């Protein structure tokens, strides 16, 4: 999944706000967004779907290059 908010305190608020601005749907994903996609894929409604990727990210994958330019060093510092 894309940026999914599971706890408010995991990341600094500015990370969430910047991520929200890069997301075409202009919001951070919630666990229920991911759960609904999983439920669909596990249902008989998805019985003819094979070998594909389902991005549950509010369109964020389309802006990854821009995010790297904006967040690059901050992400490296935070996770390393």
Tokens at 6, concatenated: 């599971």
pLDDT of residue 18: 81
User: What percent of the chain lies above the pLDDT cut of 70?
Assistant: 72
User: Per residue in 67-80, pLDDT tens?
Assistant: 666 666 666 666 66
Provide the pLDDT confidence category of residue 39 given band limits of 50, 70 and 90. Answer: very high
Closest listed residue to residue 4, CA positions, set 17, 18, 16: 16
pLDDT band at residue 31 using 50, 70 and 90 as cut-offs: very high
* Mean pLDDT, residues 33-43 taken together: 95
Spatial distance between the Cα atoms of 36 and 42, rounded to a whole number of angstroms: 10
pLDDT above 80 for 4: yes
Helices (H), the chain: 13-22, 31-42, 64-79
What is the architecture of the domain spanning 13-79?
Orthogonal Bundle (1.10)
């Amino acid at each position: 999944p894309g940026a999914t908010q599971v706890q408010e305190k995991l990341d600094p608020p500015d990370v969430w706000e910047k991520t929200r601005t890069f997301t075409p749907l202009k919001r951070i994903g919630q666990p229920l967004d991911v759960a609904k996609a999983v439920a669909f894929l596990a249902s008989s409604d998805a019985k003819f779907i094979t070998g594909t990727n389902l991005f549950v990210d509010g369109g964020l994958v389309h802006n990854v290059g821009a995010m790297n330019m904006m967040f690059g060093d901050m992400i490296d510092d935070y996770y390393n």
